[in-house]
Amino acid sequence: MTVRRVGIVGCGQLAQMMAQEGRPLGIAFSFLAEGDENTGCVEGLGTIVHAREGSDMEALYRAMGSPEVITAEREQVSVELLRALEQFCPVYPRPDAFEKTQHRVREKTAITAAGLPVSPFVPANNYDEICAAVEKLGYPAFIKSCENGYDGKNQWRVDSDEALAAIRDEVLAQQDEQEYVVEQGVNFSREVSLIGARTADGNVVTYPLAENDHYRGTLLVSTAPAPHVDEELQRTAQEYLSTLMNEWDYVGVLAMECFVSEDGLLINELAPRVHNSGHWTLAGAETSQFENHIRAILGMPLGDTSAERPAVMINMLGVDKEPSQPNEGVWLYGKSLRPGRKMGHVILLDDSQEALAARIDTMLAELYGETRRPA
C-alpha cells in the first residue's frame, strides 16, 4: 500500500496536532515553513521545507514529497502561495476560503451574502470614516483592522467620545492604507463556537457547541458541550455552519465563533482551520477535530463527533509546567516560553458540568495562582 501524504503550510502547534492525530491513520506529513517561521513544534513529525521569496514552486512541492493534498494550519497564510501550490495537487480548504476569512469585511460580506446574521458593521479606511461609522452604530463599538487580527490584537472597544478620541493617534500612527471594520457592540450572554468538517463530496459533521471564556482577548477556557444549550441553539448553529460550508464548497474543518444575544445567534468570525476551541475533542470526543480535518481533506469517511462526557479545555498561557491536579490529558507544544503565549492546554472530563466547574477553578488556581488569570 502506498503511503498517503499530506502537506501542511505552517509549523506551529496546530500543524503539530494535525500530524500527531493523522499519523496513527498511516498518513505521512510534510511541512512548509514560510520565511523565517519557527519550526520547533513539528520537528520529528515529517520533512520540513522552507519557502522563500522566489522559491521554485515545483521544487518546493517535490521537496514536500509530492503530497496528494495540501492544507494550512493558520488563517494568515499567503493565498498566492496556496494558489501556486494548487497547480500540483488540491489545496483544502480552498484558497478562496482563506481569501474571504483573512479580511474582516470580506468575511462579513460573505456571511451576509449567505443570508446569515452578523452584528451591524461599517467598513472604514481612516480615522474620519471610523468616527462616522461609530456615530452611525452607537456605543459601544468595536474597531478592528481588517487583516492580521487575532487573540484580540489590532482592535479597540470604545464606549464614549473620549475613548474614541483617545485612539486617534494610534490609528493615525498606522500605515494610511490600513482598512478597518467598525462593529456594533453585541450585548451577549455568552460566546460559543461550532466546529464542523466537510468532505469534497459534501458529507458534513459538526461537534457539540463549545462555550468560550476569553481573557484579554485570548481564549482561556472552552467547555463542551456548552452548558444549558437547548437543541434549538445547537441546530441553528449547525444550520449556519452547514450553509456556509455548502455554499463555499468547503473542504476540511471550519470553525465559527458566535455571540448568543437577545437577537439570537450572531456570527462573530470564522476560521478556515482547526480551532483552539476544539482542542477539547482530543480527549473529549470520539474523533478529534484534527483527525476529522485530515479525514475530510483526504476524502475519508468522517469520524464520530459525539462526546460521552462534558469536557473542558484550559489554555496554558505563558505557563508550561505539567499540572499536578488530576486531568485527562496535557498537551505541551514545546515552544519557548513568553508571557501570555499559548504553551499548551489541559483537558478535564467529568460526569457533570457541576463536577467540572469545581475542577476548572482548582486547575486555574494551580496554573495562574490566586487571580486564576494569566499574568
Ligand X SMILES: Nc1ncnc2c1ncn2[C@@H]1O[C@H](COP(=O)(O)OP(=O)(O)O)[C@@H](O)[C@H]1O
What's at 66, amino acid-wise? S
CB of 182 to Mg ion, least distance (A): 17
Among candidate residues 165, 159, 166, the one with its CA nearest the CA of residue 140: 159
Q: Which of 129, 151, 247, 328 binds ligand X (CB under 6 A)?
A: 151
Q: Is residue 183 a known part of a binding site?
A: yes
Q: Is residue 99 a known part of a binding site?
A: no
Contact call for residue 211 and ligand X (CB under 6 A): no
C-alpha cell at 207: 461537534
Q: Residue 122 and residue 74: Cα distance in Å, rounded?
A: 26
Q: Which of 186, 245, 297, 298 binds ligand X (CB under 6 A)?
A: 186
Residues 6+ apart with CB under 8 A from 20: 45, 290
Q: Whose Cβ is closer to ligand X: residue 269's or residue 291's? A: 269
Q: Whose Cβ is closer to ligand X: residue 106's or residue 309's? A: 106
Ordered alpha helix ranges (H), the chain:
13-22, 57-63, 79-85, 95-101, 104-113, 127-137, 161-166, 168-173, 231-247, 281-284, 289-297, 353-368
Q: Which of 68, 107, 191, 211 binds ligand X (CB under 6 A)?
A: 191
Binding mask 251-280 for ligand X (x = CB under 6 A): ------x----------xx-----------
Among candidate residues 35, 36, 81, 41, the one with its CA nearest the CA of residue 61: 81
Q: Is residue 68 a known part of a binding site?
A: no
Q: How many CA atoms lie within 13 A of 355 on its CB side?
A: 10
Contact call for residue 150 and ligand X (CB under 6 A): yes
**Angle at alpha carbon of residue 9, lines to 7 and 11, rounded to 5°:** 105
**Angle at alpha carbon of residue 154, lines to 183 and 193, rounded to 5°:** 60
Q: Whose Cβ is closer to Mg ion: residue 101's or residue 206's? A: 101
The CA-atom distances, in angstroms, between 117 and each of 87, 89, 143, 180, 258 are 35, 35, 19, 20, 10
- Which parts of this chain interact with Mg ion (CB under 5 A)? 257
Question: Of the ranges 38-46, 166-174, 185-193, 333-341, which one interacts with ligand X (CB under 6 A)?
Answer: 185-193
CB of 83 to ligand X, least distance (A): 24
Q: Is residue 327 a known part of a binding site?
A: no
Question: Of the ranges 8-16, 63-71, 144-152, 322-330, which one interacts with ligand X (CB under 6 A)?
Answer: 144-152
Q: What is the residue whose three cell numbers read 483526504?
A: 298
Q: Is residue 203 a known part of a binding site?
A: no
Q: Provide the binding-site residues for ligand X, judged by CB under 6 A.
A: 119, 142, 149-152, 183, 185-186, 191, 214, 217, 257, 268-269
Binding-site annotation: residue ranges: 104, 144, 183-186, 191, 214, 268-269
